[in-house]
Structure formats: C-alpha cells, structure tokens
C-alpha cells in the first residue's frame, strides 16, 4: 500500500472511529446515568427521552379528564391508578376541592404543600420552578367543576431535579470521553502510521552508517511495497553494485599486482639468458666462431621470446580495456582453417607433432570474423597444447562443425589432459595449470584469456573439455554470415 493511500485511510479513520466510539460511549453513559431517572411498571429502566414523552401523554390525559369527566377525580381508585402511572415518569398528582386537598400523591407529599401550590398559582413566573418537598418540580394546574357545582384544581407536579443532577455529571464525562477518544484514536493511528514510516527510515539510516564504515555486506530488506520499500530496493541495488564495484576494483588491483609479478618473472628469465650469453662472449668463453654463433642464436631466441611476451601483454591490455577494434568480414572458415593447418604443418615448432584438419565436407562455411585475430586464437590454442604434450607421437586435430546459426571449431590434442578442478579456470587471466611457472611449460598465463576475449568480441563462445591421460579439447564458435555483420 502506498504512503499516500495509507495517510488517506488514517485521516478517514481519525474522523469516523472517534465518532463511532463516542456514540457507543455516550449510549453507555446515558444508560448508566439515567436508568434510575424513570422506570416501567415491571421495574425495567426507561430512557429519559421515553420518560418525557410518556409524561406528556399522561399529563394530556389528566387535562382531558379534567375537562370531560371531572368527577373521576373524586374516585380514589382512579386517582391511585393515575398517580402510579405518573410516578413511573417522575411526576405526581394533587387534587384540591373547595380549598382542601382531597388527594396528594406520596411522590410530592409535604407538610406545606398546599401553601406552596397557592404561591405557585398566584405568581407562576416566580414559582414555576419552585422548591417543593425538597425537589425541583414543574407545576401544572387545571381547574375543574364537579357535578355538584363545587370547584377545584388538579395539579401535576413533574420532578426534573434528578435529570438535572445527573446531567451535571453526565455532560462533563461526555465531553471528557470525547476528548479521550479523539486523543487515543489520533495518537494510536499516528503512532502506527509514523512507525511504518520511521522504522524503515531508521533501517536505511543504519544501512547508510554501515556503508560509511565500509561494511557493504549489510543487506537492506524492508519487505514493503510502498515508496519507502522502493527506496529500500534502490538502496539495496546501490549497495550491491557498490559492493561489486569495490570487489572488482580489488580484483583489478590484485590482477595488476599479479600482472607486474608475472611480467617481472617472465621477462627476467630471457633477460637472464641474454645476460649470460653476453657475459660468456665478453669473458672469451665463446672463443671460436661456432660458439659465438651459438651464443648469438640463444640471444636471438631469448629476444624473440621477450618480444612475443610483450606483444601478448599489450594485446591483452587493449582487449581488456576494449580499445582493440574488430574488423569483421565474411570468410570461408573451412578454407581458412585448411590453409592454417597446412601452414602450421611446415612450421619448425611443429616438429614431432602431427596436425590434421577435418570436417564440413567440401562445402564453404561462411562466418563473420577478423582474420588477423582469428589467427591469434588458433596460434594461442596450439601453442598452449605444444607446451604440455610429452608423448612420442604428439597429435593435434582441428575439426569444423557447421551449425544452423554458428560454426564450431574443435582443436584437440593428445596431451596429458587437465585436472577437472583446474578446467573451469584455464580461460582466467594469469591462470597457470602448471604451478612451476617455467617458461617451457608455464607460459605467460594470458594465452587462453586472450582467446576468450577475442572469440567473445566476435560474438562467439569458448569452452574446454579434458580427460586426464587422453588430452584436451578447446571449442569455440563464430556466428555465420546470416546473423553477423561488420563491427568496429
């Protein structure tokens, strides 16, 4: 639920909940305070509004009987019955005949009742709310003429004192209950709404403090679907990306240190050989022309090795920084691989190693590739195989498989193979399966990493399969011309 909707519902609740609670409390207080104000014949409580209505009906009946049948007020049973009904609505009946009270309700009886009634009748404005028998009454009188021509008056005295006394306590409690209901409702709703807003903000604050202290492993999971939840999700994404960025930065720093270490080691080996040859020539060890020529050949080979190593490092650096463009063009991969294998078979470094090509029949397999960089891929894979093969009959087989959307090249050797634990890492930069780090077998550690970057840069994939004692196969794919296009 959004914060806007939550606030809207809280405002509605702050309006309607107090009204409902106040109505319930008011009804409860009214039933408690006024249950004794009036009663019915069976003793059950009568609400004050019903008391007033019933009282008015009874008084109207008394007035009607005084005008139509005045002699009924000489009947004691009628008077008693009428008075009992009036008592139930907090009223009483008094009958005066020939200046003598012939009937007085026990509800209003007092020693000086007659004189008080006379003063009320004489000055109704002053005594209408006069004290009678210790209670506050409203007095209504109706003159009557009996059948024997005598005159009299029927008084109905309504006690309103109890209602006023109850109201003095009821009204302040009603106001107090209203204030309490408003305060509690608004306070509770405000607390609940604010807690749903403040608690996640405190969580975000704590996470920000953790990030400030350098702890990027503290996850932020608000589990809310409102705006703050979206903020928390964005904050968590930011934390994750920042953590990944720092991890990559640390990895790059480790790679940089490893690169420096590798370059130092790999360059030191040929430099040491060159230095030894130069010192041998200077010291006269190579006294004959044959020895000097041998030393010069060693210097030449070491120099070529350094040059090749520096070229690989520069190429890898450009690939890693995405600064090396790819000049893709349609080429016949089958013909390209066939020519490459024929050329390699004549290379002196392939002495003692047989290399063959098969696959794709006689048809052309058109792919999008960079000729120069594809040559680097093939050479790096074959160089990596040559470093480790140690059998009397070394063999490298190049196979081409034509697929619907891509062509797959498989270069397999019959070397010692790669352990399963090391196989997933052979395309990582500076990874060497041989920990000895000798130049004869260790290599620079970036040959296959360059293969992976070049193949993926041309839209292909690369992977390896190997079994110990049976050899290793390097696979890579290239997109066919129907899917490809020139890239820079």
Q: End-to-end CA distance of the chain: give it in Å, rounded.
A: 49
Q: What is the pTM of this model?
A: 0.47
What pLDDT score does 374 carry?
92
What pLDDT score does 45 carry?
46
In sign, the C-alpha dihedral spanning 211, 214, 215, 217 is positive
CA distance 146 to 139: 22
What pLDDT score does 231 carry?
77
Which residues are within 8 A (CB) of 77 and not within 5 positions of it... i.e. 6 or more apart?
none
Cα–Cα nearest to 60, from 138, 127, 156, 152: 156
Q: How do 462-467 and 353-359 pair as beta strands?
A: unpaired
What pLDDT score does 444 carry?
58
152 with 93: CB under 8 angstroms? no
Tell me 42's DSSP state: T
In sign, the C-alpha dihedral spanning 62, 68, 70, 73 is negative
Parts of the chain with a pLDDT under 70: 1-6, 30, 32-52, 109-136, 160-168, 170, 196, 224, 259, 287, 319-323, 360-362, 429-445, 482-488
Coil, helix or strand for 209? helix
Question: How many C-beta atoms surround the C-beta of residue 407 within 10 A?
Answer: 23
Percent of the chain as helix, strand, coil, to the nearest 5: 55, 15, 25
Helix axes 289-320, 447-457, angle to 10 degrees: 40
């Amino acid at each position: 639920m959004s914060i806007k909707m939550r606030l809207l519902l809280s405002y509605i609740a702050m309006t309607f909940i107090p009204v409902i609670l106040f109505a319930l409390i008011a009804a409860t207080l009214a039933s408690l305070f006024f249950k004794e104000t009036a009663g019915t014949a069976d003793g059950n409580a009568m609400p004050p509004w019903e008391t007033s209505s019933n009282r008015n009906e009874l008084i109207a009946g008394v007035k009607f009987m005084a005008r139509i049948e005045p002699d009924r007020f000489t009947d004691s049973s009628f008077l008693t019955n009428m008075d009992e009904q009036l008592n139930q609505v907090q009223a009483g009946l008094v009958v005066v005949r020939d200046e003598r009270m012939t009937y007085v309700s026990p509800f209003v009886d007092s020693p000086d009742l007659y004189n008080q009634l006379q003063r009320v009748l004489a000055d109704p404005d002053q005594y209408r709310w006069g004290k009678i028998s210790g209670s506050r009454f409203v007095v209504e009188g109706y003159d009557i003429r009996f059948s024997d021509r005598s005159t009299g008056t029927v008084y109905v005295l309504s006690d309103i004192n109890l209602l006023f006394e109850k109201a003095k306590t009821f009204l302040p409690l009603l106001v107090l209950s209203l204030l309490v209901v408003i305060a509690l409702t608004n306070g509770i709703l405000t607390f609940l709404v604010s807690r749903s807003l403040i608690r996640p903000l405190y969580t975000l604050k704590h996470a920000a403090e953790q990030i400030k202290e350098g702890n990027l492993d503290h996850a932020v999971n608000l589990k809310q679907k409102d705006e703050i939840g979206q903020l928390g999700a964005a904050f968590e994404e930011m934390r994750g990306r920042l953590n990944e960025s720092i991890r990559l930065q640390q990895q790059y720093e480790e790679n940089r240190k490893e690169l420096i270490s590798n370059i130092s080691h790999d360059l030191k080996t040929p430099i040491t050989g060159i230095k030894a040859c130069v010192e041998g020539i200077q010291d006269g060890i190579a006294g004959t022309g044959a020895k000097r020529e041998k030393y010069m050949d060693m210097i030449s080979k070491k120099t070529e090795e350094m040059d090749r190593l520096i070229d690989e490092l520069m190429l890898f650096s450009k690939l890693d920084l995405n600064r090396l463009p790819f000049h893709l063009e349609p080429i016949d991969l089958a013909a390209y691989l066939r020519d490459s294998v024929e050329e390699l078979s004549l290379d002196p470094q392939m002495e003692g190693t047989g290399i063959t090509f098969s696959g794709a029949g006689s048809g052309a397999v058109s792919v999008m590739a960079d000729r120069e960089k594809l040559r680097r891929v093939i050479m790096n894979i074959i160089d990596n195989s040559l470093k480790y093969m140690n059998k009397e009959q070394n063999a490298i087989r190049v196979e081409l498989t034509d697929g619907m959307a891509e062509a797959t090249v498989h270069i397999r050797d019959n070397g010692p193979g790669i352990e399963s634990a090391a196989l997933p890492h052979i395309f990582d930069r500076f990874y060497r399966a041989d920990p000895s780090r000798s130049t004869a077998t260790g290599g620079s550690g970036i040959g296959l990493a360059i293969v992976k970057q070049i193949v993926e840069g041309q839209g292909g994939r690369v992977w390896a399969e190997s079994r110990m004692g049976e050899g290793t196969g390097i696979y890579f794919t290239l997109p066919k011309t129907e899917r490809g296009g020139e890239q820079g």
